[in-house]
Amino acid sequence: AQSVTQLDSQVPVFEEAPVELRCNYSSSVSVYLFWYVQYPNQGLQLLLKYLSGSTLVKGINGFEAEFNKSQTSFHLRKPSVHISDTAEYFCAVSDYTGGFKTIFGAGTRLFVKA
């Protein structure tokens, strides 16, 4: 069965510092991986996705993530964060079992300080 673990519930970081939000998944088959962002009082929106091909995926707002099959990880990174990046970030996994339903992690709250 699929599962997603986001290893940090909260990540405080100073503005212009780099950040990494960690995500590990469990699946016995090939997977599709996603990172979503949720700003206060809004729904989730897609940051980036991995379907196949290059393991380094670039997304919106300067974020990127690296798919590591051997470590079953899909960590999200940004080299320099802004105050406006303060939000909740969700890692998600989907595969062809279960009708391509998506399993979401519990979220990581990124708090960028001035």
**Residues engaged in binding another protein (CB under 8 A):** 4, 9, 32, 34, 36, 41-46, 49, 51, 90, 94, 99-107
Q: How far is the CB of 56 from another protein (least distance, A)?
A: 18
Residues with Cβ within 8 Å of residue 110, at least 6 apart in sequence: 11, 13, 19, 21, 81, 85, 86, 87, 88, 89
Q: How far is the CB of 99 from another protein (least distance, A)?
A: 8
Q: How far is the CB of 102 from another protein (least distance, A)?
A: 6
Nearer to another protein, 67 or 90 (CB): 90
Q: Which three-class secondary structure state does DSSP give residue 99?
A: helix
Nearer to another protein, 5 or 15 (CB): 5
Nearer to another protein, 73 or 108 (CB): 108
Q: Rounded to whole angstroms, how far apart are CA atoms 58 and 50?
A: 9
Tell me the CB-side half-sphere exposure of residue 73, using CA atoms within 13 A.
14
